[in-house]
Each structure stands twice: as structure tokens, then as C-alpha cells.
Amino acid sequence: MLRFENVGLRYDEGPEVLKDVTFELHQGSFHFLTGRSGAGKTSLLRLLYLAGRPTRGFISLFGHDIATTPRAALPALRRRIGVVFQDFRLIDHLTSFENVALPLRISGMTARDYKEDVEELLAWVGLKDQMGARPPTLSGGEKQRVAIARAIVAKPDLLLADEPTGNVDHEMGLRLLRLFVELNRLGTTVLIATHDRTLTARIDAPHLHLEAGRLAILSAAAARDWAAEAEEAAP
């Protein structure tokens, strides 16, 4: 479903922030995206959800060569991707219910068709009593959960989550992880960018690990070994 070949990315005339990145994500796979701050995770995610194009290299998404795909065709590809942003990107004048329902409205569904599904999903993430609340009145953790519900409500082909448990407590983080696992079981390809080792330890999934812009694919066991070595080496 997704293929990167020797992808490089630089901003303006600066140094490359991604260097010869090569990997594939197959339909129905589950991966973590790991690496220290500044390693290039956010830049890689931007390429994955089509917010930018690489400086060099080849990207294929859903069978489309992104370099040659017309800009007018990109919105249809983006609608197949659910994204959980670190900064939430909720619409302040919409309620929690309306923010979550937005992808379904855009796809042409009526409120009668999606009302029950949206209410059930918001209740599952612990926001049953906040369906009518607007983002400015919500805590960071509540905004995070609204953003996650919005990203998955349309059952996307690909889910990209950037630190999806960074603003919630441990118990809610595990609950959200179970939600991602269930979505993956139903066929969605899932990629979670995270620093949370308690989260990655729960799933035996490979890691796309970035180090200074270069990517390595680590097994779950190899990733645990790397994390332990990094912790021992930390000052």
C-alpha cells in the first residue's frame, strides 16, 4: 500500500532531514515510528499524509506515484488516511461531536447515518458527557481523544498517529492502544509515532526507527534492546 525508495528531504537550502529512506508498509500491518527528538519523525509523517513532497526519491501510495499524481487527485487519497496530529487541529467553533463527524460529512453521509456511530465512539474514548463541548473548553487530554476519534471514525485504509497518548494518563493510553489494535484487526494499516516505551512494549510490532534522518527497520525485540542501551548511555 505504501512504498518509499531512497527518499530524501531538505527544507530550502538547509541540510537533508531525511536521507535515503526506504521501506514498505503492507495492507493491514502495524508499525511504530521511533527515534529521538529531531530525528525526522515529523518530516516523515508529513510526507506520509501528503502535506509535502520529497526533494528526491520515489513514493508510491495506494498504487499512485506521488511525484506524478496531479494535485487535484490528492484530496481523494488523503481521505483514505486518518491522521492524529500532536497539536490536535480541531475546529474551535464545532462541538466534539461535529469535529468527529466531519470526515463523514465530507464523504456525503447524513447525520442520520452517522449519529449512532459517532456517539458510540466518543463514549468509548470517555467523552460521552463532552459531545456538545467545543475545543476551547476541553483539556489537552480531551482534545487528544476527540482528535483520535475523528481520525478513525471513517475506518481509514491508513492511520498515522503522532504521539497519540502524549496527553492522556496511562490507563487511557492503554485503552486507546486497544482501539488502534482493533482498527488494525479490521484491516487498517497503523503507524504510531511515539516515545512511550510502555506503549511499544505492549505490542509485538516492528519499529521504523529514525536516527539523524536515516531509517532502520527493527524487530520489536531489537527495538527494546536499542531503548535499553540508549537509556544506559543517557547522562
Residue 109, domain member (yes or no): yes
Cβ-contact 183, 136 below 8 angstroms = no
The number of CA neighbours under 13 Å toward the Cβ of 155 is 8
Cβ-contact 66, 50 below 8 angstroms = yes
Q: Which domain holds residue 110?
A: 90-155
Grid coordinates belonging to 80: 483514505
Q: Which position has the grid cell 505504501?
A: 2
Q: Is 169 exposed, middle or buried (0-12, 13-18, 19+ CB in 10 A)?
A: exposed
Residue 101, domain member (yes or no): yes
Residue 53, domain member (yes or no): no
SS3 content of the chain, % helix, strand, coil (to 5): 40, 25, 35
- In tens, the pLDDT along 58-80 reads 999 999 999 999 999 999 999 99
Residue 117, domain member (yes or no): yes
Domains: count for the chain: 1
Residue 226, domain member (yes or no): no
- In tens, the pLDDT along 79-131 reads 999 999 989 999 999 999 999 999 999 989 999 999 999 999 999 999 999 99
Residue 188, domain member (yes or no): no
Confidence (pTM): 0.90
Residue 104, domain member (yes or no): yes
